Chains A and B, each alone.
Chain A
Amino acid sequence: MVEGGRALEVLSAIRERYPIVMHGVSMSIGSADPLNRDYLRKLREAARRFSPAWMSDHLCWTSVGGRNLHDLIPLPYTEEALRHVVRRIRAVQDAIERPILMENVSSYMAFADSAMPEWEFLSRVAEEADCGILLDINNVFVSAFNHRFDACEYIDAVPADRVVQYHLAGHSDHGTYLLDSHDHPVREEVWSLYERAVRRFGAVSALVEWDDNIPDFGALAATADRARRIFINAASNFVRRDRNGGSAERTGTAPVPADHRA
């Protein structure tokens, strides 16, 4: 969130030619602090200026007591946290005048007080706050390893009509835990999970995140092509399921306009 200069200049140039989505890391939706109204005002101004297809941030907290950790810290999956987050997402959507997507984070700690699995927390947040889900497939895989849950169970439990975007990324293996480092190729297991997600949620937009050890453009393009091939194949057979698992519609088109696809 800068006022001007090269970042906005480049973004403006891109926006002239392409649709964009806006993704943040500092909304701190789960913080016990009051919402940062100045930050939300800047977000609203940016949204008015660039007309993104959608805006997203993470289901976590990053700041408390007026201090910022600049990291995505997980929440306890409790009724208290659920009510708190739902109330704040509704307030944010009012403030920025549009719905947002919430992304599941990679996490390295879980809380003894948690009363429900992460996928139930995410699903209930989306339903009760009436927001979309940005499903990070790599984050599901990383957290499943770190907290010993079944990644497939996670994918199968998320409400299909809430998922608007996927993230794919690589991670680093530290032996006792996986770290969401965005500095490796997407792992085969994550590709498999992605295929499972596309079969369930359809060919919505996918973004490959690669922030460090960035390979040459050919390798990046090949990764994007693989993601695109998977959802083109899956989209032709995509059956959107209703809440009870029944077949609600059969369609070869994704629930967002074609120019928003990966």
Chain B
Amino acid sequence: MAVRLKELERLLYRLITAPSGVAEGLAAERGLPPGGLDAIVRGDSRLSATQRVDIYASMYFNRLLDVLKEDFPATLKALGEVNFHNLITGYLLEYPPTEPSVHFCGRHLAAFLRDHPMRVKAPYVADLAALERALVKSFHARDAVALDAETMRSIPPAKWPAVRVGMHPAASILAVKWRVSGLLAAIAGNRKWKPSARGDVKVLVWRRNARVFHRELEPAEEHALAAAARGTTIARICDLIASSMRHGNSVAEANRLLARWIADGILVRMPNSRRRSVNRR
């Protein structure tokens, strides 16, 4: 094991990520060799050792800030540049990147916001960040063949109830306490926006033709899509839609919703589960 290399890398990591800069990070270091950082990193008349490490420190923060601005454009707009900058400063201390891809950098931002003082002024913003994160996940999610209308037409209608379906890997349902889907659409569309209203709703996120979408679920969809997410039959989905309706034509409603989900590529076909043969004695 390269012990000295490990010590060097860990020291540089601490200095590059030091919250108040390399100089203050250095002041907190114990066990530096005589000569301090100059005994480790070569400085010269152009740049001292500390200034050289500082170049990396500056790039570390600004690169990740840029990544998070790209992944959370609406959260940025809702909070403003300065607040977002301060938020990310704290966030990276609490949740430094651990994965090889920067796509994972923002995965804890919504959770971080839930306990952050900024929630007092903008209580909806954690849900907004959660929705933006769901969009990023959907954009990069695994591919799968979506159940389409042509496939359904190839199945005799009498067999439709037994068809097993699941949810596409790029589709998900997000439970929120604030109605952030409309807010996100307004900000993304450069329209006038106002803070979200409170409302216990579910937001559907999905991907179609490499683009991601979101919308609030209708009440009749909630249980049926939750069941689809676990894997179920179309018959069960129709039952759940019917049981969620107080009045109206449940058959027409099931047809409408199934047609919509299929058009949006939200469902995938799953193999029908085989009955296990059980030897009874």
Sample of 12 further A-B pairs with CB below 8 A, known A63-B100, A67-B13:
A4-B140, A4-B143, A4-B144, A5-B143, A32-B5, A32-B6, A61-B9, A67-B96, A67-B98, A69-B16, A111-B41, A112-B41
**B138 CB contacts on chain A under 8 angstroms:** 5
**A113 CB contacts on chain B under 8 angstroms:** 4, 40
Contact with A along B4-28 (1 / 0, CB 8 A): 1110111011001100000000000
A interface residues (Cβ-Cβ under 8 A, vs B)? 1-9, 26, 28, 30-32, 36, 39, 61-71, 73, 75-76, 78, 80-81, 83-84, 108-113, 147-148, 176-177, 179
Is there an interface contact between B41 and A6, defined as CB atoms closer than 8 Å?
no
> B108 → chain A, closest Cβ, in Å?
14
> A17 → chain B, closest Cβ, in Å?
18
**A39 CB contacts on chain B under 8 angstroms:** 100
A71 to B5, CA, bound (A): 17
* Interface presence of B169 (CB below 8 A): yes
* Interface presence of B207 (CB below 8 A): yes
> B278 → chain A, closest Cβ, in Å?
37
Is there an interface contact between A112 and B39, defined as CB atoms closer than 8 Å?
yes
Is there an interface contact between A68 and B98, defined as CB atoms closer than 8 Å?
yes
B42, B49, B53, B101: the one contacting A26 at CB < 8 Å is B101
With A32-B5, A71-B63, A110-B41: A4-B141 Cβ-Cβ less than 8 Å: yes
A28 to B9, CA, bound (A): 12
9-residue interface stretch from B54-62, B156-164, B177-185, B195-203: B54-62
With A3-B142, A61-B9: A71-B56 Cβ-Cβ less than 8 Å: yes
* Interface presence of B257 (CB below 8 A): no
Residue of B nearest to A62 (CB): B100
Offer 5 A-B interface pairs, CB within 8 angstroms, sorted by A.
A6-B139, A32-B2, A69-B60, A73-B16, A81-B5
* Interface presence of B150 (CB below 8 A): no
A105 to B257, CA, bound (A): 54
* Interface presence of B186 (CB below 8 A): no
With A5-B170, A81-B2: A64-B10 Cβ-Cβ less than 8 Å: yes
B6, B46, B140: the one contacting A64 at CB < 8 Å is B6
With A2-B103, A176-B47: A70-B60 Cβ-Cβ less than 8 Å: yes
* Interface presence of B115 (CB below 8 A): no
Is there an interface contact between B60 and A31, defined as CB atoms closer than 8 Å?
no
**B1 CB contacts on chain A under 8 angstroms:** 32
Is there an interface contact between B143 and A8, defined as CB atoms closer than 8 Å?
yes
A137 to B17, CA, bound (A): 29
Is there an interface contact between A109 and B5, defined as CB atoms closer than 8 Å?
no
Is there an interface contact between A3 and B141, defined as CB atoms closer than 8 Å?
yes
* Interface presence of B231 (CB below 8 A): no
> B253 → chain A, closest Cβ, in Å?
32
Is there an interface contact between B41 and A109, defined as CB atoms closer than 8 Å?
yes
Size of chain B's interface in residues, with CB distance under 8 A? 51
**A5 CB contacts on chain B under 8 angstroms:** 138-141, 143, 170, 207, 210
Is there an interface contact between B99 and A176, defined as CB atoms closer than 8 Å?
no
* Interface presence of B118 (CB below 8 A): no
For residues 30 through 83 of chain B, which have their beta carbon under 8 Å from a beta carbon of chain A?
38-42, 44, 46-47, 49, 51-53, 55-56, 59-60, 63-64, 67
Is there an interface contact between A70 and B44, defined as CB atoms closer than 8 Å?
no
With A73-B12, A108-B55, A111-B42: A68-B210 Cβ-Cβ less than 8 Å: no
Residue of A nearest to B13 (CB): A64
**A108 CB contacts on chain B under 8 angstroms:** 47, 52, 55-56
**B17 CB contacts on chain A under 8 angstroms:** 67, 69
* Interface presence of B251 (CB below 8 A): no
* Interface presence of B122 (CB below 8 A): no
* Interface presence of B111 (CB below 8 A): no
**B101 CB contacts on chain A under 8 angstroms:** 1-2, 26
Most buried by A among B5, B49, B99, B142: B5
List of 5 A-B pairs having minimum Cβ-Cβ separation, nearest first: A32-B6, A26-B100, A4-B143, A6-B210, A2-B140
Is there an interface contact between A3 and B140, defined as CB atoms closer than 8 Å?
yes
A63, A78, A111, A177: the one contacting B46 at CB < 8 Å is A177
> A49 → chain B, closest Cβ, in Å?
12
A64 to B144, CA, bound (A): 35
Contact with A along B130-148 (1 / 0, CB 8 A): 0000000011111110000
Residue of B nearest to A65 (CB): B10
Residue of A nearest to B4 (CB): A80
With A4-B142, A4-B169, A84-B2: A70-B42 Cβ-Cβ less than 8 Å: no
